[in-house]
Structure 1
Amino acid sequence: MAKYWDDFQIGETYKSDSRVVQEEDVMQFASLSEDMNPLHLDEEFAKKTPYGRRIAHGMLVLSKVTGLHYGLGLFKGTSLGVLEIQWKFRKPVFIGDSIEFVASVEDKIETSKKDKGILVRSILVRNSNGDIVQEGKFINLIRRRNG
């Protein structure tokens, strides 16, 4: 069920479903983004890196997080766009890892327009082992209920 800016409470948390990062995801993202770094695509090259095997593009994982957000239905028809993303890449995500996130509403900022407000959320992305692999903040413009 979609939520409006007014419905969110500071300190409120919610969790995504988990999704596996598949080989096909990496290949399609490489093609779409034109990021052909062998770290993502060449197993022999990747074996000689500190990771010892291929890793998913960090931006692919971030993109999956935005998709997982949309899949929750909380912002369906109420999100008016991303204003800012502040993001840190902590650990690699490997092909075959599952990822999920926990989000916490950090702030709600009124705007001069009564039909929308700014929602600030902290996001922690974890892998299959529970390690934090990415984290940051999403700052979005959200419709208000009675705007």
Structure 2
Amino acid sequence: MPGLYFEELEPGLVIDHATRRTVTETDNILFCSMTLNLAPLHLDAEYSKDSIYGERLVNSLYILGLVTGITVPDTTQGTTLGNLGFQEVKFPKPVFHGDTIRVRTEIVSKRESQSRDDSGIVYFRHYGINQRDEIVCDAARAGLMLKRSTVDEPASV
């Protein structure tokens, strides 16, 4: 499924993404290992028993990547020139092994690019939501999005 072009990403648009993902212990351990994040709160079950959560937490950067990744097919796949950055990221609730994450995207605003004629900047807000309807990730970001009007349409046969 292709992403949306600049013209299609209107402020106020809300997308409830169909893809959901149950986070596993393996996801968390692999991500922590690949990024060299050895925090015992993510990896050590005995240590985590005495934490305020009573169990291991899923690495928040994994959750940010998962939330952002789930949005790609519906928003930016094939229609973005790049992620311009995250303005703000919050993790209001922890994520644990076995939690299922779904994502809602809101288009906050957009503007024409000042340096490119073929694109504009879109401001997205992504919410990662667990199976208890709690927001576990709240991420505001900007993307440089292609304009449909600048893409060559395939010739008719």
- TM-score of the pair, normalised by structure 2: 0.88
Match of 1:131? 134
Cα distance in structure 1, aligned partners of 2:34 and 2:111: 35
Cα offset, 1:10, TM superposition = 1.1
Number of the residue aligned with 1:121:
124
In structure 1, what is the equivalent of residue 148 of structure 2? 145
1:88-136 C-alpha deviation (Å, 9 max, x unpaired): 1111100110111111111011112110100101222111111111112
Q: Which stretches of structure 1, 4 residues or more, deviate above 3 A after TM superposition? A: none
Per-residue deviation, 1:74: 2.9
Deviation at 1:9, TM superposition (A): 1.4
1:12 Cα offset (Å):
0.5
Question: 1: CA distance between counterparts of 2:3 and 2:53?
Answer: 40
CA distance in 2, matches of 1:99, 1:73: 16
Shift in Å at residue 2 of structure 1?
Answer: 2.3
Structure 2 CA distance for partners of 1:33 and 1:98, relative to 1, 3 Å: same
Q: Distance between the aligned counterparts of 1:118 and 1:33, measured in 2?
A: 30
Quick one: distance in 2 between partners of 1:106 and 1:84?
15
Residue ranges of structure 1 left out of the alignment (5+ in a row): none
Who is 2:42 aligned against?
Answer: 40
Shift of 1:143: 0.7
How does 1:1-147 map onto structure 2 within 5 Å? 1-16=2-17, 17-70=19-72, 72-85=73-86, 86-112=88-114, 113-147=116-150
Determine helix, strand or coil for the equivalent of 1:134: strand
Distance 1:74 1:8 in 2: 8
TM-superposition CA deviations, 1:12-47 (whole Å, max 9, x none) = 000122111111111110111100111111111001
Q: For the residues of structure 2 that align with 1:76 and 1:136, how far apart are their CA atoms?
A: 18
Aligned residues: 146
More deviation in 73-82 or 53-62? Answer: 73-82
For residues 96 and 55 of structure 1, what CA distance do their matches in structure 2 show? 11
Higher Rg of the two aligned structures: 2
Counterpart-to-counterpart distance in 2, 1:30 and 1:6:
38
Residue 105 to residue 116, structure 1, CA distance change in 2 (3 Å)? same
Q: Which runs of 5+ in 2 are unaligned?
A: 151-157
**TM (normalized to structure 1)?**
0.94
